[in-house]
Amino acid sequence: MVRTNRALDYLVAALLIAVALALSPLGLFLTKGYPSLTLRGVLMTLALDVFLLVWAGAILTQGRWRRFFFHLIVWTFPLVLLTGFEALAHAVHLAERILPITDLSVLHGKGRLPAYFSDENRSVAADPGWRLYRPRDGDGIFINELGLRTAAPTPKAPGEWRVAISGGSTVWGWRVLDVDTVPADIQRLLPHTARRITVYNFGIEGATLEAELLTLKRFREIYAIDEVVFYTGSNDELKTFWEATTGRKQFDNFIASGFELGKAARRVNALLQGTNASYLAKFESEILPKVLRDNSLRRGVVAAEDYCRNTELDCVFALQPTLVTRKNHPAGEARLAKSYDILLPGMALLTRQMYRDAMAAGPTGRMYDLTNLFDDQTSPFFMDHIHVNEDGNRMVAQALVPILLKGTP
């Protein structure tokens, strides 16, 4: 019988145990400082830990116990193999390859941006108002002490004309640096005139037009605003769609974080099912008429126009383009649009109808529908349903500059 080098056995077993402890949830917490691990992370690390510890047991024992541990290795190997497939699927973003929900490749930095955009605590509820942001100055992102992503208010210069660009995350600048936001682009594109025009970013993520008006009321006098450009529409139609259907719950469940293989399976199933034609017919005949009777976008336009008139503010409204209303999509963006047609059936129809209704109710000469802004372009702009890349923001700014100048004395 061949005698093994027990010292080497002990060394290898000790190394396996050390690796298992380092990769355990407790080890990751102590070494990386993670406040918590997801269920996916805990289960994957525990599966690997068990496999490593079983190997250590097989090395340390002999005879009957060694055979027992080798049986455990065989029994646990499929679990480890599944964990490996899960890690690989997560590494290659398998679910997004099957049915994409976002496409960060259209961004100049391919989505390599500060972790700030993933910080769920970057904004807080405001009273009065909608939401405001925690002050910040770094990594190309500046949030002033008032909670806006724009310059702090200063005394107004003689002859200066101040313009607030109001909107949701598309104005605020989702996943782009300050220099690439729509308000910053507008400021750069303004022609040199005798009158000094200063542009401020009043965008707040998730803001409907009603919420935009709350922000404007809070800061209008502080910034001595003369004109407001409401670049709006998408948050109202999204909120309306969620409230009129069970779409929000289904969508959240669909994109919920968890096992990548599970997400991939859900997306394969959705892709195979395709667009639900019967649901679309029901949406158009039953749901849409009810929605249009209480169109929040129309109400928001009327309320904002009343406020602007009463405060002698020059206000214009530009309804923003969305992914599902763009007529011509490049190849990559076409896959993204197909995903949203499947996941949000009826959204394109709802958007067009809500926009048409709001345009009819709005002030003459102050309503602009930018739905077709990207239709004649061949480049991809959308990274999801409503957000566009840096080039898209620049095109939006180019469309808004002449609209803004119409209100300038």
Q: How far apart are CA 90 and CA 259, in angstroms?
A: 8
Q: How confident is the model at residue 1 (pLDDT cuts 50, 70, 90)?
A: very low
Please give the average per-residue pLDDT across 349-355, as a whole number.
96
Q: For residues 92 and 223, which has the higher predicted lDDT (pLDDT)?
A: 223
H or E stretch covering 142:
strand 141-143
For strand 136-138 and strand 161-167, is the pairing parallel, antiparallel, or unpaired?
unpaired
Q: What is the pLDDT of residue 407?
A: 80
Highest mean pLDDT among 71-75, 245-249, 363-367: 363-367
Q: How confident is the model at residue 43 (pLDDT cuts 50, 70, 90)?
A: confident
Q: How far apart are CA 388 and CA 395, in angstroms?
A: 10
Q: What is the pLDDT of residue 218?
A: 97
Average pLDDT, the chain: 89
Highest mean pLDDT among 34-38, 60-64, 110-114, 185-189: 185-189
* 3-state secondary structure at position 114: coil
Is the confidence at residue 41, as pLDDT, over 80?
no
Q: Which residues of 215-251 are buried (b: 16+ CB within 10 A; e: fewer)?
A: bbebbbeebebbbbbbbbbbbbbbbbbeebbebeeeb
Q: What is the pLDDT of residue 304?
A: 98
* 3-state secondary structure at position 235: helix
Please give the average per-residue pLDDT across 108-115, as a whole number.
80
Domain 104-406 has CATH 3.40.50.720: no
Please give the average per-residue pLDDT across 80-87, as a whole number.
85
180's tokens: 């690439």
DSSP E strands: which ranges in 291-397? 314-319, 367-369
Is the confidence at residue 273, as pLDDT, over 90?
no
Cα three-residue angle 224-387-313, rounded to 5 degrees:
20
Strands of 227-232's sheet in order across: 197-203, 161-167, 227-232, 314-319, 367-369
Please give the average per-residue pLDDT across 387-395, as a whole number.
98
Q: How far apart are CA 286 and CA 291, in angstroms?
A: 9
Range with lowest mean pLDDT among 108-112, 126-130, 183-187: 108-112
Highest mean pLDDT among 22-26, 255-259, 360-364: 360-364
- How many Cα atoms sit within 13 Å of 12 on the Cβ side? 15
